[in-house]
A and B are shown apart, each in its own frame.
Chain A
């Protein structure tokens, strides 16, 4: 229910931002349109109607998946965005995999050796990971690996293979070489975040009774780590990774711009440049929808991982 309310609220905000502020015709009809065309558009969009009727009309069209037509490309905005989704998701998935595969192990090491130089170094390094502005860090990667070392390409997506009508670049060598730099760029801040989260979790857990008990039982340190400590600290980590999934889609805007990766984020930036308002509106609505879905999924996953959490409040 609450998620529906959020979607509704965003639709109101976006509606008033685009349709009600200033002259909507200026925003929604391309400047090259003739006077007759404008008249047709005013009729079609119902701009001669009262505001609340306009809003219900907008909402009705939005529910049917009609969020306007791109001025620049001449096809429905939503279609344009959907075409770009696979590229962005691919990037986000590789970034999340990197986050898990690098962030959690490094966090465990930092937590276990929190008094030793290794742990301190990792924690200090994670501050650097936070502080590096994402776009500049991407440029450093390009400079090092593409311009100076010539190891990896600097831009684009490489060859794609179409699987079930969806172009994927993860199945070709060229695709992998293209995705690796953007994925590192996108995941670095999250690696730092997960590292810190895991490390503090381990440090807290080390002194807990259940760990002492497991050690007293004579369990191998490895088993204590994987079966006891990891289980308990994974809950906040999974929550954060889940929530970061949504932010990654948003932050991929920056990475996609730096690496000319043809995803939704690059489309958003291009549309902002070209004043392609319907695409901007459609993007906001779609990303909001994705966000609402993610929040629900994270809640459910949370409940599955920790039986103490119950979705329904007890009556």
Chain B
């Protein structure tokens, strides 16, 4: 019979599984609204990924659309017995299918814009903090300059000059968002720069890019990522707003914002479903992201217990 080893055994925990991280996750799990939001978000993501299989109709296949089915109220059926649970738009398009495809475009634009803005902004902030001096001053002046204006105005004027298009909307969102990341990254990197491990890396003669990307960046990423989760919701709203105003995505790729805009003209005659259901989908998406981001922020905030 083996006696238990009296020596303390090293528990094989992964490096990422720190007590702090466990506490954060525990705090996140204990909140019912967060749980609901996560479920809602996962469901939305699933429908977005599976849209072609879940959608009752291909909303962009003109062959299946019938103008006779135009502006049917929710729950009504077409001539051939096809039921439109959320009604149809003026072209007889099933709103449920249109929403599922619209969510795809909204999410794609939002996620890619935030990803690009995070990368660009982080690199600029890192560079400013590492280089210091004149470069720092110039870059931060630029950041102040852009952040001095409301996002909607900058994006609107930019798109007025660039024209419509998915890529152009992404560019506009990146232009208005990158500066936030640059500012957060810079202030974080300035704190980290003074620490010994950077000094050690400098003394080892590593090139500047290596110190920035391999040493400084991973240690500054936390606050930037938390901010990015909030910005996903902002990017989606911005895209929807721009599309609603008619300067966003083209008609061939209707996001939720454009669907809402299309329904606006029928609102006054009482055909609420064309604009209200896409809006509810948008609201659910944004709300769940916001709740998760809000909780994440307060869980990561060392002052809150």
User: Which residues of chain A have a CB within 8 Å of any CB of chain B?
Assistant: 6, 9, 17-18, 21, 124, 127-128, 130-136, 139-140, 142-143, 146-148, 154, 246-247, 250-251, 253-254, 257-258, 268-269, 272-273, 280, 284, 287-288, 291, 295
Contact = CB atoms under 8 A, between A and B. Distances in A.
Interface of B: 33, 145, 148-150, 152-153, 156-157, 160-161, 233, 237, 240-241, 244-247, 257, 260, 264, 267-268, 270, 272, 275-276, 279, 282-283, 286-287, 290-291, 294
Nearest to B237: A133
A146 B241 contact: no
A143 B160 contact: no
Contacts of A18: 161
Contact of B279 (A6, A139, A247): A139
Contacts of A272: 156, 160, 246-247
B152 A131 contact: no
A128 B244 CA distance: 20
Contact of B267 (A132, A147, A251, A284): A147
9 contacts: A6-B148, A9-B145, A135-B244, A136-B240, A136-B275, A143-B267, A143-B276, A291-B148, A291-B149
Contacts of A133: 237, 240-241, 257, 279, 282-283, 286
Contacts of B268: 142, 146-147, 154
Contacts of B161: 17-18, 21
Which secondary structure characterizes the binding site on chain B? helix
A250 B283 contact: no
A142 B152 CA distance: 22
Contacts of A147: 267-268, 270, 272
Nearest to A295: B148
Contacts of A247: 150
A293 to B, nearest CB: 12
A242 to B, nearest CB: 14
A154 B148 CA distance: 33
Contacts of B153: 250, 253, 284, 287
Given A135-B241, A135-B260, A280-B160, A253 B152 contact: yes
B241 A139 contact: no
B30 to A, nearest CB: 15
Contacts of B291: 127
Contacts of B157: 280, 284
Nearest to B158: A17
A124 B283 contact: no
A18 B150 CA distance: 20
Contacts of A21: 161
A246 B241 CA distance: 18
> Which of B153, B240, B257, B286: most chain A Cβ within 10 A?
B153
Contacts of A154: 268
Which of A6, A139, A140 has the most C-beta atoms of chain B within 10 angstroms of its own C-beta? Answer: A139
Nearest to B280: A136
A131 B286 contact: yes
A136 B150 contact: no
A140 to B, nearest CB: 7
A268 B268 CA distance: 24
